[in-house]
C-alpha cells in the first residue's frame, strides 16, 4: 500500500542515469593515468560509506578524453562484482562502465534520500544480476527500478534525520581509528622495550630483555585435519577450526564440527593461521579440534599468555619477512618454534599485557558502538523509507 501523498516512481523519473565510460585499450596503459582527475572504480565505492571522500587512481587529460566525468553530488552505484554499492561524490570524478552515475533532478529527489533508498535495494538488484564472467546489471535494470517516493519536502526531512546517524557513526569511526593508531604506537614502544612501565612500587622496570625461541616460552600444537567424512554441520562432536575463516574478529568462529578428534586447543589458547594469509592471530573461545591451517599456542610457566598474544599481534604483519621477499603461503612447525621473541621478566610482561589489553577493550567498545549505531540506522531506514513512520515536514531546519 502506497502511503498517502507518496508515489511509485521509476529511477529515471527521479534522476539522470548514465553509465560510466573508459574506452582506452589496454585499460592499464600508463599514458592515461597520473593526472589530476579522480578515477573512481568499484573498490572505491565499496569501502566509502555514504560519501565518497577518497580515491585510489587518477587520470590525466588523455584519460579524461576516453572516460566520462560526473559532477560533485552525483550518486555512483556499482553494477559489476559487488552490485548495488553506492556513494555520493564530494568532488568531480571520472569512472568506468562498471559504475553508473545517478544525478537527481533537483525538483524530484534529494540526493541523500535517494542514495539511502538505493542502499535498501542492494539485494533486489543483486538478485536481478546476470552471470557471465562476473555478475552484473545494466541500465535496463536500473532505469525502470520502482521507488516509493514521498514529496521532496518529506524526502529532505528523512535525509536530515538519517544523516544524524551518519554523523554519529563517522565520529565513532574516527575515535576507533585514533584508538587503533594509539594502540599500534603503544605496541611498538612496549613490545620492543623502548618504553618501560612502572612496577607495583612505582619504580620503572630496568631488567634486561632476553631473546628466546617461541617454543621456549610456549607449548605449540600444530593442527592435523580429521578425515573429510567426519565433517558435519549439526553440532555433533568438537568444533573444527581449519583456517582464517574460523578465526574472525580475533575469536574462534567454527563453521562445522567433527566427531573424529585429532589435535585440540583449549579455551583462551592463541590460534595462529599457518596458511595464507599467514600469521593471523585470534583467541580460542572453544575447546576445539584444530585442522592443518591452525596452530594452537599456550604460554609455559615462565611466560604470560596475554603478553605472548599481544606480541604475536604485533608480529602479525612481519611473518612475510621470513619469506625472503616472496609471497609467504604457509609456515611450518619449525618456522613457529624457532621464531625469536625478545621478552622481559614475567612481572613486566604482565604490566605490558595489562596496558595493551585495556587498549583492546576500548577498541572493542567502539566497534560495538559502531555496530549498534548502524543497526539503529538500518531499523530507522526501514521505517522512514517505507512510510511506516511519517515525519513532520515543518520541523525541517
pLDDT value at residue 397: 41
The predicted-structure confidence for 383-393, as pLDDT tens digits, reads as follows: 999 999 999 88
DSSP 301: T
**Among positive and negative, which fits the CA dihedral 215, 219, 225, 231?**
negative
395 burial level (CB within 10 Å; 0-12, 13-18, 19+): exposed
Question: What DSSP character marks residue 323?
Answer: G
Phi-psi region of 369 (alpha: psi -120 to 50; beta: other; left: phi over 0): alpha
Mean pLDDT score of the chain: 92
Confidence label for 81 from pLDDT (cuts 50, 70 and 90)? confident
Is the model more confident about 395 or about 301? 301
Q: Which residues of 139-148 are buried (b: 16+ CB within 10 A; e: fewer)?
A: eebbeebebe
Q: What is the pLDDT of residues 4-34, one digit of tens each?
A: 999 999 999 999 999 999 999 998 899 999 9
Q: What is the largest CA-CA distance in the chain?
A: 76
Is 395 a residue whose pLDDT tops 60? no
Structural domains in the chain plus CATH codes: 7-148 (3.90.220.20), 150-205+344-397 (1.10.287.1120), 210-343 (3.90.220.20)
CA distance 86 to 316: 33
Q: Tell me the three state secondary structure of residue 159.
A: helix
Question: How far apart are alpha carbons 290 and 238 in whole angstroms?
Answer: 10
pLDDT band at residue 321 under the 50/70/90 scheme: confident
* 226-260: pLDDT as tens digits: 876 456 665 678 899 999 999 988 999 998 888 88
**What is the CB-side half-sphere exposure of residue 207 using CA atoms within 13 A?**
12
The pLDDT of residue 144 is above 60: yes
pLDDT digits (tens, 9 = 90+) for 152-180: 999 999 999 999 999 999 999 999 999 99
Amino acid at each position: 500500500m502506497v502511503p498517502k501523498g507518496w508515489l511509485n516512481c521509476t529511477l529515471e523519473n527521479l534522476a539522470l542515469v548514465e553509465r560510466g565510460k573508459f574506452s582506452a585499450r589496454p585499460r592499464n596503459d600508463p599514458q592515461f593515468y597520473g593526472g589530476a582527475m579522480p578515477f573512481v572504480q568499484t573498490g572505491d565505492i565499496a569501502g566509502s560509506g555514504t560519501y565518497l571522500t577518497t580515491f585510489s587512481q587518477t587520470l590525466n587529460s588523455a584519460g579524461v578524453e576516453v572516460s566520462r566525468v560526473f559532477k560533485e553530488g552525483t550518486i555512483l552505484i556499482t553494477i559489476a562484482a559487488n552490485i548495488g554499492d553506492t556513494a555520493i561524490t564530494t568532488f568531480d570524478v571520472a569512472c568506468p562502465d562498471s559504475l553508473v552515475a545517478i544525478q537527481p533532478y533537483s525538483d524530484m529527489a534529494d540526493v541523500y534520500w535517494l542514495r539511502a533508498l538505493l542502499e535498501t535495494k542492494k539485494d533486489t538488484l543483486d538478485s536481478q544480476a546476470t552471470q557471465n564472467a562476473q555478475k552484473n546489471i545494466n541500465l535496463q535494470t536500473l532505469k525502470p527500478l520502482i521507488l516509493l517516493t514521498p514529496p521532496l519536502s518529506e524526502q529532505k526531512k528523512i535525509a536530515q534525520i538519517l544523516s544524524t546517524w551518519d554523523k554519529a557513526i563517522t565520529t565513532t569511526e574516527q575515535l576507533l581509528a585514533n584508538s587503533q593508531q594509539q594502540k599500534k604506537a603503544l605496541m611498538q614502544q612496549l613490545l620492543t622495550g623502548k618504553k618501560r612501565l612502572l612496577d607495583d612500587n612505582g619504580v620503572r622496570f630496568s631488567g634486561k630483555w632476553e631473546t628466546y625461541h617461541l617454543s621456549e616460552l610456549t607449548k605449540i600444537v600444530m593442527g592435523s585435519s580429521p578425515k573429510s567424512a567426519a565433517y558435519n554441520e549439526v553440532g555433533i562432536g568438537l568444533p573444527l577450526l581449519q583456517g582464517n575463516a574460523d578465526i574472525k574478529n580475533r575469536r574462534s568462529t567454527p563453521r562445522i564440527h567433527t566427531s573424529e578428534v585429532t589435535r585440540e586447543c583449549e579455551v583462551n589458547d592463541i590460534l595462529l593461521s599457518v596458511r595464507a594469509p599467514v600469521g593471523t592471530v585470534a583467541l580460542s573461545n572453544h575447546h576445539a579440534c584444530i585442522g592443518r591451517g591452525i596452530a594452537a599456542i599456550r604460554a609455559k610457566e615462565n611466560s604470560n599468555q596475554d603478553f605472548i598474544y599481544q606480541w604475536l599481534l604485533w608480529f602479525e604483519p612481519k611473518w612475510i619477512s621470513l619469506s625472503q621477499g616472496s609471497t609467504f603461503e604457509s609456515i611450518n612447525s619449525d618456522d613457529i618454534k624457532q621464531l625469536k621473541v625478545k621478552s622481559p621478566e614475567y612481572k613486566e610482561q604482565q604490566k605490558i599485557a595489562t596496558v595493551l589489553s585495556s587498549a583492546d577493550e576500548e577498541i572493542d567498545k567502539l566497534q560495538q558502538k559502531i555496530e549498534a549505531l548502524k543497526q539503529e540506522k538500518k531499523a530507522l531506514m526501514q521505517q522512514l523509507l517505507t512510510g511506516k513512520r511519517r515525519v513532520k515536514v515543518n520541523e525541517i531546519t
